[in-house]
Structure 1
Amino acid sequence: AAGGLVDFLDMELAYGDEKIRETLRMLENSSVSLIVSFHDFEKTPPKEVLFSTLAAEIRAGAHVAKLAAMPRNEEDVLALLSATLLVRREYPHIPLITMSMGGIGAVSRVTGGLFGSDLSFAVGSKASAPGQIPVAALKQCLSVLHPLES
């Protein structure tokens, strides 16, 4: 970060507020932004927990708040999108990255921007998480949802 080799540093919320504050102090005189993230590869917590987790990331000082969860059913995907929308309305100035993983959650990677997620992940040559869509397919889907922005 000090050498300007990265643009973003991603740190799990689980490291705690003190470690996050320490990292933010380290980044003060750099152009590097801190992503504070939470991943649940087993399940999707309830909407209220998703909201409070993203809010905790923001209160901890995140320049970007990120949350990824594994859905067990379609309602879990809706909970993630709903929580994203609530956080977007409550904290309009903080960039958000949210996604529901796996096949069921792939729709969140396409429609997340409609609910307040500012970034999605796509597959270049090899997926780094379940449910990622190949970049060409994601680009095509996004051009349908956002025809004037493509």
Structure 2
Amino acid sequence: MGSRAMKSKICVSVTAQTTDKIVDMILKSEKKGADLIEVRLDFLQENPNFTRIRKSTSLPLIATNRSKREGGQFNGNEETRTNYLFAAASEEFDYVDIELATPMIGTLAVKLKDKSTVKLILSHHDFQTTPSLDGLNNIFKKELATGGDICKIVPTANTPEDNLNCLRFINHASKIKDVICFCMGKQGIPSRLFSPLLGGFMTYASMERGKEAASGQLTIEETRQFYELLA
């Protein structure tokens, strides 16, 4: 458990309205020990300067442009939303997070991988419940069939027991593919922390209080302290 705790990767979600603020948050997150950075493009209120963002750090970057129906902030049409992801991929972002429910996702996945070396995180979110283990496996199969490099499933915990479904799923699915799976919400904090210890690719944290990208997200300091305790 100790060695896995030290190897657990923490991705800091950067939520800002301008490129200047994104770069500032990236630099601060890097100093705090982030292993990866997720740039939440849907929080921006201006066109992003992808070149500047990419040059600001050597850490792996994830481009996410989450639609409102998937719990994000992006209000525009699907073409504009996905074009931002293609632009990030062309500027050598390391990963693109795109929802499994995106229209024509299979075609988009092929195009993204054909035009760049970007790795695809295929994501599914459930803001109401946590599916059964069979339900999680069914979503996983769809993501595998669509061609994701990393399969991401994030439901919502209504009870502490919901965490166990995600952790059981991670324990076997991570032997097949790189997988991210934990529960949102305050009840889901245990799975956020324990999923990397059972084989999850990474967990997410905020740079600081008030900058959370999702319910139940801890700060990078809180998350790092937990893993240091186990080490």
**How high is the TM-score relative to the length of structure 2?**
0.57
**Which of 142, 148, 159 is the matching residue for 1:73?**
159
Q: Distance in 2 between matches of 1:133 and 1:63?
A: 26
Residue 121 in 1 paired to residue 204 in 2? Answer: yes
Aligned residues, how many? 142
Q: Distance in 1 between matches of 2:195 and 2:125?
A: 16
Give identity over the alignment, percent. Answer: 27
Task: Report the aligned-residue RMSD.
Answer: 1.7
Which amino acid is 2:97 matched to? D
Q: Name the structure 2 match of 1:7.
A: 94
Residue 142 in 1 paired to residue 142 in 2? Answer: no
Q: Name the structure 2 match of 1:44.
A: 130
Alpha-carbon offset, residue 86 of structure 1: 2.1
Higher relative contact order (CA closer than 8 Å, sequence separation 6+): 2
Q: Distance in 1 between matches of 2:115 and 2:178?
A: 20
Which amino acid is 1:81 matched to? L
Q: Distance in 2 between matches of 1:100 and 1:22?
A: 27
Kindly report which structure 2 residues correspond to 1:87-98, keeping only aligned pairs within 5 A, or say none: 87-89=173-175, 91=176, 94-98=177-181
Q: Deviations over 1:69-97 (max 9, x none)?
A: 101112211011111112123x1xx2211
Q: Which runs of 5+ in 2 are unaligned?
A: 1-85
Which amino acid is 2:198 matched to? F
Which amino acid is 1:65 matched to? C
Q: Deviations over 1:15-72 (max 9, x none)?
A: 26x4223332332241211110100011111111012212221221001110111011
Which amino acid is 1:42 matched to? Q
**How high is the TM-score relative to the length of structure 1?**
0.86
Partner secondary structure for residue 66 of structure 1:
strand
Larger radius of gyration: 2
